[in-house]
């Protein structure tokens, strides 16, 4: 989550009454899901959540996936006046009504019985956490439906073996989500976080929101007051105002502290639910070898001011992602690369 947080969790180690992350709860590697097994597990989640609506939903998702490349191509050629992708999908009659919700392929749910207060894009930074995906989906979809939000889940997947870049994936997820629908609120959600309380409302606020007030593994506390990692939400405008997240953090740690700093620098005071409303459980996992510590993080955090307006959504560039619609989520698979270095930034 953040440099500070996890270092302390390691230091804390055995003195803690709760099992540490790497001990009791980790899934042994031989029980981990491969992408194929993951697909069949998500399929079980689909069966559970859609019931009799699943065959029809699956047919519409397949049809939408077949037309998606041409919709995207058309948008590219008429950039300015391009329709949102979901508008075109609706016009093609690819939506299905399920109880009091309308569902568009890609997991976009729109309440029919009320005017939703927020249109929320849930953006999940992701790589190789297939064993977490079904648990996450099974947990969050019913919760968001109970909150009567309009919402969609975007899995922003890093498709290469470079160090994991959580912040840049969040930027990409934000931009790509807005191509589908004009979401007014974006919630960035680590895949291993599970909100315990249905009253933890996933709409936005007039201030950037940190949704976590305590974690089971941290004895229902936060590691430090300024923590702004795990699950955070901003209006579209707030996100543009702070220039999104930095793109230069490759590897684990630091990026969420810079995120918090950007919020503060704009005089935005982050909000957070109080007490048990903001309690989260987390799927405990081993430290990921493919996501080593970013040794440069402390140096980078010392030069935050230089990059605030020059590294973020403002300079974001990436190849066209591969986009795949699923019944419960949209997968945005992207080969993100290092962006050109700005000579005004200090090297770390």
- Binding residues vs Mn ion (CB under 5 A): 192
Q: Which is nearer to ligand UDP, 22 or 90 (CB)?
A: 22
Residue 320 touches which of ligand UDP, Mn ion, none (Cβ within 5-8 Å per kind)? none
Distance in Å, CB of 184 to ligand UDP, minimum: 23
Residue whose token pair is 């399929």: 43
Q: Which is nearer to ligand UDP, 169 or 204 (CB)?
A: 169
Please give the residue whose beta carbon sits closest to Mn ion in the complex.
192
Distance in Å, CB of 277 to ligand UDP, minimum: 21
- Non-local CB neighbours of 199 within 8 Å, separated by 6+ positions: 273, 277
Q: Which is nearer to ligand UDP, 166 or 272 (CB)?
A: 166
Q: Which is nearer to ligand UDP, 151 or 188 (CB)?
A: 188
Q: Which is nearer to ligand UDP, 191 or 195 (CB)?
A: 191
What are the phi and psi torsion angles at 15 (to 5°)? -65, -15
Q: Which is nearer to ligand UDP, 56 or 287 (CB)?
A: 287
Distance in Å, CB of 156 to ligand UDP, minimum: 9
Distance in Å, CB of 19 to ligand UDP, minimum: 15
Q: Which spans in the chain are helix H?
A: 3-12, 35-50, 54-77, 85-91, 133-146, 166-180, 236-241, 255-265, 297-301, 304-307
Distance in Å, CB of 343 to Mn ion, minimum: 35
- Non-local CB neighbours of 330 within 8 Å, separated by 6+ positions: 106, 107, 108, 152, 153, 154, 155, 180, 323, 324
Angstrom distance (rounded) from CA 61 to CA 63: 5
Distance in Å, CB of 279 to Mn ion, minimum: 16
Give the footprint of ligand UDP on this chain (CB under 6 A): 1, 6, 124-129, 164, 166, 190-192, 288, 290-291
Residue whose token pair is 């041409």: 70
Residue 103 touches which of Mn ion, ligand UDP, none (Cβ within 5-8 Å per kind)? none
Going from the C-alpha of 308 to that of each of 70, 166, 263, the distances in angstroms are: 36, 17, 10
């Amino acid at each position: 989550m953040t440099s500070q947080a996890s270092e302390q969790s390691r230091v804390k180690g055995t003195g803690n009454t709760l099992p540490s992350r790497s001990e009791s709860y980790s899934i042994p590697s031989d029980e981990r899901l491969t992408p194929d097994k993951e697909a069949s597990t998500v399929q079980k989640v689909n069966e559970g959540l859609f019931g009799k609506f699943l065959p029809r939903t699956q047919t519409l998702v397949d049809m939408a996936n077949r037309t998606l490349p041409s919709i995207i191509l058309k948008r590219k050629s008429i950039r300015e006046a391009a329709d949102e992708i979901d508008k075109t999908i609706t016009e093609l009659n690819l939506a299905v009504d399920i109880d009091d919700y309308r569902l568009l392929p890609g997991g976009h749910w729109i309440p029919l019985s009320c005017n939703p207060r927020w249109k929320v894009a849930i953006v999940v930074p992701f790589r190789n956490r297939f064993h977490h995906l079904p648990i996450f989906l099974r947990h969050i979809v019913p919760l968001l439906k109970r909150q009567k939000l309009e919402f969609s889940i975007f899995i922003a997947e890093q498709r290469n073996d470079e160090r994991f870049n959580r912040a840049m994936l969040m930027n990409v997820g934000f931009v790509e989500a807005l191509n589908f629908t004009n979401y007014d609120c974006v919630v960035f959600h680590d895949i291993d976080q599970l909100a315990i309380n249905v009253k933890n409302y996933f709409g936005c606020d007039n201030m950037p929101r940190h949704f976590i007030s305590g974690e089971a593994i941290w004895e229902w506390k936060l590691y430090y007051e300024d923590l702004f990692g795990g699950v955070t939400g901003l209006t579209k405008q707030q996100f543009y105002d702070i220039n999104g997240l930095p793109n230069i953090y490759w590897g684990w740690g630091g990026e969420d502290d810079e995120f918090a700093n950007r919020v503060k620098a704009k005089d935005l005071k982050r909000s957070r639910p109080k007490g048990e409303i903001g309690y989260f459980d987390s799927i405990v996992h081993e430290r990921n070898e493919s996501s080593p510590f970013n040794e440069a993080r402390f140096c980078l955090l010392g030069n935050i001011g230089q990059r605030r307006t020059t590294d973020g959504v403002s300079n974001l560039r990436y190849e066209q992602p591969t986009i795949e619609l699923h019944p419960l989520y949209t997968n945005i698979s992207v080969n993100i690369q290092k962006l050109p270095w700005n000579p005004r930034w200090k090297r770390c």
